[in-house]
A and B are shown apart, each in its own frame.
Chain A
Amino acid sequence: MNMDLKKDLDAPHSMGTTIIGVTYNGGVVLGADSRTSTGVYVANRASDKITQLTDNVYVCRSGSAADSQIVSDYVRYFLHQHTIQQGQPATVKVAANLVRLLSYNNKDILQTGMIVGGWDKYEGGKIYGIPLGGTIIEQPFSIGGSGSSYLYGFFDQAWKEGMTKDEAEQLVVKAVSLAIARDGASGGVVRTVIINSEGVTRNFYPGDKLPLWHEELEPQNSLLDILNASSPEPMNIQ
């Protein structure tokens, strides 16, 4: 048991994760949980998985913590150089493609899925999903990480085109909290980043402020309450 725990603690730091990126009319909302696990131990219960690449482009990281941190460090560095060369802020497409090139060309070493989201003056708010393997796909919304499995149906039903900023953020928070309820590798707090023409807003939703779902709720009008209240002795069947 002791050796198993040791092996677990030596396991590579991975982010089980739920990450989401959603466009709305005017910009994008990125959301993520905050749990980083090493085997079954939660190494960091309040990590920030939404990392800045430039002033107007952020990336949600999932998978191996080390791999995703290194990739985002390299992309931040390349984008910085690119911004100096261009003389103007980098577009979301360029940022996403840099992430894609690193992911694709090192696909045998890296194990990380990312969602790049941001706002630029040419295309407005854009979301690009870059899963394992290095595909790049531009989508109106993208979900990733182990917790995303539980959200495909939810998004099919709840997603609609042309939401307002508040609707989009509420959707993201609700979705991440649903995934946290069902996925063991996601948990902690919900962090969101809203990017639009006015700038960037970071929000934080602590665990106790999130909605509870289904079996997490206190039982209401349970038959057990009624049975226990009326007769303390076992019921006689005659």
Chain B
Amino acid sequence: MSKSAVEVPPRCGFSFDLCRRNAMLSEKGVQAPSYRKTGTTIVGLVFQDGVILGADTRATEGPIVCDKNCEKIHYMAPNIYCCGAGTAADTEAVTDMVSSQLQLHRHHTGRESRVITALTLLKKHLFNYQGHVQAALVLGGVDITGPHLHTIYPHGSTDTLPFATMGSGSLAAMAIFETKYKEGLTSDEGIKLVTEAICSGIFNDLGSGSNVDVCVITKGHKEYLRNHLLPNPRTYVSPKDYSLSKKTEVLLTKITPLKEKVQVIERGDAMEE
């Protein structure tokens, strides 16, 4: 009997062969690739006219930087923004969800959204999932009752603070805040302090990096400063620039539209019974 394998035609449907291999590998101690996380440094502070939020822009997939310029400051309402740390999918999904709930609520009540509403909606959702939705958020905004800044942890607990930091770079950023924060900062001082705190995270934490995003929210006005500071420019850019050699000559150009244009014939009579 020959020992050569018989050629079996591939079966349709999901092939579970690799599941056994994965189980064997994890038994041997090989870890599965991790999900995309935002390593992150996110901060927020209350200044004399409102709140300022700041974030770095690095998204990591295990040890690899998968996005060098992602946006971590998410829109919740015209007067409320939320920075997210943790699993990128979770922070995006939960902030999107609560943002649309807030919009519906605005239609129902006819009023501007309050920060405490966003806080309660986020908190209830995260608590219900008992920490499995890995989203750590810094929520800030200005509403009719004044400026507010809150932190929300993945298990659903919240804190209300005058200055807050979250993410893997939170210790580095908190060190800057604890040293330099004072009440009644002006807008420029606040932006400078937030930028310094984020830079501290960028340079001292491996999970944070690239650029600084800042968002300033005051009564009736907001300024989203995307890439406010770019402290990590690409150092070795090729002076020749990237271009493809134009060696192929164009002889003929013919464009065929794929959709047939449908002719609408105007019918004079309306449908009658």
Interface residues of B in 148-197 (CB under 8 A from A): 151, 153-159, 161, 168, 170-171
On chain A, the residues within 8 Å of B161 by CB distance are 44, 46
A62-70, A144-152, A177-185: which one contacts chain B?
A62-70
B165 nearest CB neighbor, chain A only: A43
Interface residues of B in 73-121 (CB under 8 A from A): none
Q: A12 at interface (Cβ–Cβ under 8 A)?
A: yes
Residue pair B157, A66 in contact (C-beta under 8 Å): yes
Residue pair B170, A70 in contact (C-beta under 8 Å): no
A2-10, A196-204, A210-218, A219-227: which one contacts chain B?
A2-10
Bound complex: CA of A9 vs CA of B159, how far in Å?
15
Residue pair A66, B159 in contact (C-beta under 8 Å): no
**0/1 interface trace, chain A 1-45, chain B, CB 8 Å (1 if under):** 010011001101100000000000000000000001010010110
Nearest chain A CB to B50 CB, angstrom units: 21
Nearest chain B CB to A176 CB, angstrom units: 20
Knowing A10-B134, A12-B131, A44-B161, say if A66 contacts B168 (CB, 8 Å).
no
Q: B225 at interface (Cβ–Cβ under 8 A)?
A: no
Residue pair A69, B158 in contact (C-beta under 8 Å): yes
Report whether over half of chain B's contact residues are helix, strand or loop; otherwise say mixed.
loop
Residue pair A12, B168 in contact (C-beta under 8 Å): no
Bound complex: CA of A2 vs CA of B169, how far in Å?
11
B155: contacting residue among A5, A6, A13, A46, CB under 8 A: A13
Residue pair A44, B170 in contact (C-beta under 8 Å): no
B167 nearest CB neighbor, chain A only: A9
B128 nearest CB neighbor, chain A only: A70
Residue pair A9, B170 in contact (C-beta under 8 Å): yes
Nearest chain A CB to B160 CB, angstrom units: 8
Residue pair A66, B134 in contact (C-beta under 8 Å): no
Bound complex: CA of A24 vs CA of B44, how far in Å?
42
On chain A, the residues within 8 Å of B170 by CB distance are 9
Nearest chain A CB to B253 CB, angstrom units: 55
Residue pair A47, B159 in contact (C-beta under 8 Å): yes
On chain B, the residues within 8 Å of A5 by CB distance are 168, 171
A6 nearest CB neighbor, chain B only: B168
Residue pair A43, B159 in contact (C-beta under 8 Å): yes
On chain B, the residues within 8 Å of A10 by CB distance are 134, 154
Q: B127 at interface (Cβ–Cβ under 8 A)?
A: yes
Bound complex: CA of A124 vs CA of B218, how far in Å?
46
Knowing A66-B157, A69-B156, say if A9 contacts B127 (CB, 8 Å).
no
Bound complex: CA of A64 vs CA of B170, how far in Å?
21
Residue pair A9, B157 in contact (C-beta under 8 Å): no
Knowing A2-B206, A10-B134, say if A65 contacts B171 (CB, 8 Å).
no
On chain B, the residues within 8 Å of A6 by CB distance are 168, 207
Residue pair A64, B157 in contact (C-beta under 8 Å): yes
Residue pair A65, B157 in contact (C-beta under 8 Å): yes
Bound complex: CA of A46 vs CA of B181, how far in Å?
15
Q: List 26 A-B pairs, Cβ < 8 Å.
A: A5-B171, A6-B168, A6-B207, A9-B168, A9-B170, A10-B154, A12-B131, A12-B154, A13-B155, A13-B157, A36-B157, A36-B159, A43-B159, A47-B159, A64-B155, A65-B153, A65-B155, A66-B126, A66-B127, A66-B131, A66-B155, A69-B156, A69-B158, A70-B123, A70-B156, A109-B130
A2-B206, A10-B154, A66-B127 given. 6 additional CB < 8 A pairs? A5-B168, A5-B171, A44-B151, A69-B156, A69-B158, A70-B127
Pick the 4 closest A-B CB pairs, nearest first: A65-B157, A66-B157, A66-B156, A66-B155
